[in-house]
Each structure stands twice: as C-alpha cells, then as structure tokens.
Amino acid sequence: MIRALDSSSQRFLADLERIQQRVNRAQRQISSGLRIAEASDGPDQVGELLAAKARLDRGVEIRLTLARVKAEVDTGEQALQSAVRVLERALTLGVQGANATQTPASRRTLGTEVQALLEQMVALAATRVEGRYIFSGDADQTAPYTLDLAVPNGVSAYAGAQATREILHPAGARFRIARSGQEIFEDPAAGVFAALNALRTALENGPSVPPGDPDYQTQFDAQTAAIEQALTDLRKAHEHLDVELGFYGTLENKVEEALNFAQRLEIREQNLLSAIRDADVTEAALALSQATTHQQAALAARARMRRGSLFDYLG
C-alpha cells in the first residue's frame, strides 16, 4: 500500500522537478546550441521564429536564383563581346574587298572567310548555359538559328520565342533578364546575319566575264558597290550589337547589385533568427551550474530533516 505524501513532501518533489527541468533545459541548450529547439521551449516566440525562418529561406532561394542568372548574364555578355569582334573582323575584310586592287579570286577568298564568320555568329547565337539556349527567349530548349546559305540572311528562321523572363530583386521589384535572338541578331534596320551574308555574297559574286571583256569593269564596279553597301549595313549592325552588349552590361551590374543585396539580407535574417533561436552557451552553462547546485542543496537539506524518507510512505 502506498501512503499519501504530506504537503511538505509534495512541495519538495515539485520544487525538485522544477530544478530538474532547469537542468535538462540547460543541458539541451549546451548540447544543441539552441535556446528554442521545440515549441515548448518558447511558445511565445514560435510565431516570430517561424516568420524569421520563412524570410531566411525565401532570401536564400532568391540568392541562389540570382547566382544562376548571373552566370547566364555573364555568359551572354561574353558571347556578345565575341559577336562584336566577329563584325569588326568582317568590316576589315569588307574594306579589303572593296579595294579596286582586289581580283575576283581574292574577293572570293575573302568571302570564304566571311562565311566562316557567319558560321561563328550562328554558333554564338546558340550559346548555352546549364543546357539552356540563352538567346532563344522562352523557348530555351531549341537552338535559335541554323546556317542556311540558300536564304537572303544566311540563316534559318528564328526558332526561339520572345524573351519574357524576369527575376525578383530581393527588394521586391522584378526586372527583365534576357533579350531574344531575334532582337539581338535580326533588328529590321540592322540585321547582323543579313549584313554578314550580304557581304559574303557580294565578295563571292564577281564578274561573270573574264578581264578584258567589255562588261568586266562594269560588273567589277557593281560588285564593289555591293561590297560597300554591305559595309554600310555591317556598320549599322555593329552599332546595334553595341547597344545589345550595353544592355547585358547594365543587366550584369544590376544582377550583381541584387546578389549583393540578397547576401546582406540573408546575413541580417540569419542574425535575427539566431537572436531568437540560438542559445547563449555561457549563460546556459551558468544556469546548469546554478540548477545543479540548487538540486544538490535541496537534496542535502531534505536529508538533514528529522523525518522519514520517501520509502517510509511505501508499503
């Protein structure tokens, strides 16, 4: 038979249980490093903690997305820098070809090099990052162009789509992160492919009669005029590509700024979360020491009392 405890013993056991809870709580904080590991550790702060964790998770997601976009934008800028250099080389070849000292054969040789530049431009338009064609707009699983010398601009019809993708700045605004290949390479007033292919065909299509024929000089002059017209178109295309390159340069800076903003925001949210959740290990160790001391003192004091032990109540 178990006899009921008197009120003094009940108070002692309740106090001892509270001290043990303090010991347990301090030990958990020291071992886990967390002041709030479960809802019961801080019921009044659970809502605040969950909100801080949600903000941090969202910030991390935005930062990771920005990092991927940065790689894409950086690659896009590099591709357009190369495209500008391709046009500059084409302009050099065109100026050489327009010189009246050139022969139809030397012009054809220059035309062959321009065709190689056109092929290089098509390859640059098909630049990929993480398996995505970055100049294909929203249809980024399809190469935007293929070489097709049978058509006036030297390439197939644009196989991509409009570029409508946007990204969220950590501050809340959204901004566009790409241009389509059609916008970059097929501007109606400054088509890059069309200008390159026009120069190629002008260089390759020389007089159909041999030197000395009465029509030779007329045809040679017509070829020269066609080369010069192609050069005019190439200069327009070069100016247009410079504008597109500027877009990507500005976008690169904007993404970099957004990424830095996201990193600062993430650190702030981590600090806020830490202030709510993390334990002060020094304070926890002191609390453990004090609780252990109180526990030992309580047990010692109880032992000195001239009354039966807890086992006296058990029968």
Q: Calculate the alpha carbon distances from 165 to 79, 145, 162, 181 in Å.
A: 19, 20, 9, 14
Q: Calculate the alpha carbon distances from 288 to 11, 33, 37, 298 in Å.
A: 22, 14, 17, 15
The dotted CATH code for 51-274 is 1.20.1330.10
Joined tokens for residue 103: 């022969």
Within 10 Å of residue 80's Cβ, how many Cβ atoms?
23
Q: Can you tell me the distance from the alpha carbon of 28 to that of 21, in angstroms, rounded to the nearest whole number?
A: 10
Average pLDDT score over residue span 281-292: 60
Joined tokens for residue 121: 């431009």
What local confidence, expressed as pLDDT, does residue 106 receive?
97
Tell me the pTM.
0.74
What local confidence, expressed as pLDDT, does residue 278 receive?
58
pLDDT digits (tens, 9 = 90+) for 156-202: 999 999 999 999 898 889 999 999 999 999 999 999 999 999 999 99
What local confidence, expressed as pLDDT, does residue 269 receive?
82
Q: How confident is the model at residue 115 (pLDDT cuts 50, 70, 90)?
A: very high
Average pLDDT score over residue span 290-312: 62
Q: Can you tell me the distance from the alpha carbon of 128 to that of 76, in angstroms, rounded to the nearest whole number?
A: 9
Q: How confident is the model at residue 22 (pLDDT cuts 50, 70, 90)?
A: low
Is the model's pLDDT at 122 over the cut of 60? Answer: yes
- % residues pLDDT > 70 (the chain): 73
Enumerate the domain spans of the chain. 51-274
Q: How confident is the model at residue 268 (pLDDT cuts 50, 70, 90)?
A: confident
Q: Contact, 165 vs 68, CB < 8 A? A: no
Helix (H) or strand (E) holding 129: strand 128-129
Is the model's pLDDT at 223 over the cut of 50? Answer: yes
Question: Angle formed by the axes of helices 46-98 and 216-277, to 10°?
Answer: 170
Q: Can you tell me the distance from the alpha carbon of 307 to that of 291, in angstroms, rounded to the nearest whole number?
A: 25
Say which DSSP state 40 is in: G
Q: Contact, 82 vs 126, CB < 8 A? A: no
